[in-house]
Structure 1
Amino acid sequence: MEGKRIESSEVYVAAMCVSILLFAPVGVSQPIPADKSQVNAWFNGIIKPVKERGNTLDPELVEAETEPRIIKVMQGGGGEFDTITKAIESVPSGNTKRVIISIGPGSYKEKIRIERNKPFITFLGDPKNMPNLTFDGTAKQYGTVDSATLITECSYFVGANLNIVNTAPKPDGKMVGAQAVALRVSGDRSAFYNCKIIGFQDTLCDDKGNHFFKDCHIRGTVDFIFGSGKSLYLNTKIFVEGDPGLTVITAQARESSSEDTGYSFVHGSISGTAKNAFLGRAWKSSPRVVYAYTEMGNVVNPAGWSHNLQPERAKTVYYGEYKCTGQGANPKTREPFVKQLPDAEAQPFLVLDYVEATKWLLPSPTVPN
């Protein structure tokens, strides 16, 4: 009888394992396709609307999406407000419902901040006539991270079809405090679709939390994607502006291998007018950055990466490349501390759940009628 019980138990365990595999949420382990032409179909098959996702999403997000409120911002009349700031002020503290701020065309010169107590806000522009969110704040005036044109501290923020620009002058190497951030993302579970994020030094402060960027364009000169976020950049175009000084794309700020932060760039491209731009430099001691399936133009420095004149950091950085192409992707000229990732090591960086996206990411919003 004892032997019989063990056998039944084994059958039961096997059956449970099969059930778990069959009914587990889709997408957890489905890697991003190597073929770029298949990416959108793959993405749409996993990131479906709320009503098709069942209990796989965060309960508070499901509740928030049940009765979305739409606020129209238009210059010259026709909307509820004529500035984005006024629209944000109309959202109550402790907000629990999705608020879609539909932004009409034009240039909005505002320094915009969404505080932590106003989650579930969406900024939505028209892809055919994207609004320009502009300001000219600098580190000298506000401090670097507070110089941003748009600061999002709230969770569950979505930005779609926006030009986010810091119009401060290009640093000349002489001006003190000339760093000028266009966007700072400090809230968790935030997504950006089809946004242009434009500046020079320190363009995007990918500060903290899980973030997702798709079909975006990011432009700058030095350290123009920096911070301690954990982010997946899918089909993002990176443009490195020419500069007589140093040009560097990322300054990811992980300080220990125990910190679960880092940037993964998949199916993007790197171009520009710069020469010898670094993919990343060790601004902090243990940055983690991976480029996969990325088309790298001749703007990339043959060495690829920099330990930032601190040789000891060559032992603590995690800089990886996986199946990248183009003139700037030659692995033979890379620094010895750069990893050319094998398939198994690359996998964690090639899934949406690198940023836990199957729990919170929704499709790109569409313009309301």
Structure 2
Amino acid sequence: MVSKTHFQLIVLLVFLLSSLNITSSSYAQSVANFDKWVSCNMKKYDERKNILKSKWKVADLKLRQAESNKVIITVSQDGSADFKTISEALNSIPPRNTMRVIVSISPGVYREKVMIPRTMPFITLSGEAGNPPTITGNDTASASKRNGTPLGTFHSATVAVDASYFVAINIKFENSAPHEIGRRGEQGVALRISGTKAAFYNCSFNGAQDTLYDHKGLHFFHNCSIQGSVDFIFGYARSLYQNCYLNSTTKKVASITAQKRTNSSLDSGFSFQNCTVTGSGKVYLGRAWGDYSRVVFSYTYMDNLVLPKGWSDWGDQKRDSRVYYGEYMCSGPGANMAGRVPWARVLTDEEAKPFIGTQFIEGDTWLISP
């Protein structure tokens, strides 16, 4: 394994060379050296995967215990269940909960702002596959709190999850606030996930600007639909999106992702595997919210709305040598690499391996069947 000191020296070298306006040949050599380190590091992913497997019994003993003690509570607006609202059901759960609590939600539109605090782990929101419930709201970043100050993007979320070990199955998360091009403060989050080791199965996330705030932690999205106009998947997290449908509703030009990896040692990023990118307008696959933003698309179908350049450095060229934007075995008219920015990566088989499969999110240590 390459030492942390060695890695820091390489990153410092790249920065110094670029800041001194070195020749293109020297710059190419520095990038090649960095690529060599990346390739060497990726060879170790199998070793890391085996280590993670061996940690299961110790690292997530609390999760194993929670799964062996399950409780189901029900929600229905017609009064036929334990509770009429989702918030009432959640409020009935004692703090520092240690059991898996499944909140079974009947079909319907639930107009409420749902908050799951850090002190409430092991919560599952579950709906019917054929008629999933919708949790909806319309707060935006510019909406006012009780004291008159703006909510901000963070607090605009219809559903906010700060707890770990959260699961959602067959749920529609929605923020119905529209986005008008050129206006400020219209960020409207449908779901913010800030707890770690969270999984979403067969869920929908519908909004406009900043639909899904994939804030921080390890997250898994399987067979989900995510729709929005501007940066509609954004955050700091390390997340795997598997068999997901990404639908753009932008009218002009926007970006699907805005991943904020702020330094080279931060182990975060978004991986999209076997997904579909379609919709309206023209889109970048991602733009660099953070200097070391990391996003990879593999085995993904991209319709012709994807711009030939593919990626944006958000107007900051120093990020070109720092971001990690990769594509592997993608298809469709939007997957043509001929016009891509020169700092986007066409991944080799070896380079793609760490991003494909649940080992990217250490899933072998915490993912459970829905």
Q: Return the TM-score normalized by structure 1.
A: 0.83
Name the structure 2 match of 1:4.
none
- Give, in angstroms, the shift of residue 283 of structure 1: 1.6
Q: Is the 8 A contact 2:56 2:366 kept in 1?
A: no
1:223 partner letter: D
Per the TM alignment, residue 186 of structure 1 is displaced from its structure 2 partner at its CA by 0.1
Aligned to 2:156: 147
- Give the equivalent residue in structure 2 for 1:267: 274
Is the aligned partner of 1:219 residue 2:221?
no
1:146-174 deviation line (CA, Å, top 9, x unaligned) = 10111010000000101100011223323
- One-letter amino acid of the counterpart of residue 330, structure 2: C
Structure 2 unpaired stretches of 5+: 1-45, 144-150
Whichever residue aligns with residue 86 of structure 2, its letter is I
Amino acid at match of 1:196: S
Give the equivalent residue in structure 1 for 2:83. Answer: 81
Deviation at 1:243, TM superposition (A): 1.8
Change (3 A) 1:57 1:161: farther
- Deviation string for 1:280-319 (max 9, x for gaps)? 0012211000000000001100110011111111011100
Alpha carbons 1:104, 1:125 under 8 Å: kept:
yes
- Counterpart among 233, 236, 245 of residue 237 in structure 1: 245
CA distance in 1, matches of 2:250, 2:259: 21
Query: Equivalent residue for 1:104?
Result: 106
* Unmatched segments (≥5 aa) in structure 1: 1-24, 30-45, 47-52, 365-369
In structure 2, the residue matched to 1:255 is 262
Report if the CA contact (8 A) 2:230-2:250 is conserved.
no
Compared CA separation, residues 206 and 54, structure 1 to 2 (3 A): closer
Matched, 1:189 2:191: no
1:130 counterpart residue number: 132
1:280 aligns with 2:286: yes
How far residue 210 of structure 1 moved from its aligned partner, in angstroms, is 0.2
Counterpart of 2:336? Answer: 330
The 5 Å alignment of 1:52-71 reads 55=57, 58-71=60-73
Moved more, 140-149 or 164-173: 164-173
Q: 1:148 to 1:298 in 2, by over 3 A?
A: same
Following TM superposition, the consecutive aligned residue runs of length 4 or more in structure 1 with deviations greater than 3 angstroms are 53-57
Pairing 1:307–2:313 present: yes
Equivalent position amino acid for 1:318 in 2? Y
Q: Is the 8 A contact 2:301 2:331 kept in 1?
A: yes
| 1:290 aligned residue (292, 296, 299) | 296
Q: How many residues align?
A: 315
Q: Which of 174, 180, 185 pairs up with 1:165?
A: 174
Kindly indicate whether structure 1 or structure 2 has the higher relative contact order, using CA contacts under 8 Å at least 6 residues apart.
Answer: 1
Deviation of 1:28 after TM superposition, in Å, equals: 4.0
For 2:367, the equivalent position in structure 1 comes to 361
Percent identity between matched residues is 46
- Alignment deviations for residues 234-280 of structure 1 (CA, whole Å, 9 cap, x no partner): 00100011323x310010000111100000000001000122x0000
> Is the CA contact 2:56–2:364 (under 8 Å) kept in the aligned structure 1?
no
The amino acid that maps onto 2:177 is A
Letter in 1 for 2:174: V
Distance 2:287 2:61 in 1: 39
Aligned to 2:338, the other structure's residue is in SS state helix
CA contact (8 A) 2:71 2:99 kept: yes
Aligned equivalent of 2:93, options 84, 91, 94: 91
- Residues 143/54 of structure 1: CA separation in 2 closer, same or farther (3 Å cut): closer
* TM-score where L is the length of structure 2: 0.82
Give the conservation status (yes or no) of the 8 Å contact 1:171–1:200: no
Q: Does 1:203 align with 2:211?
A: yes
CA RMSD, Structure 1 to Structure 2 (Å): 1.9
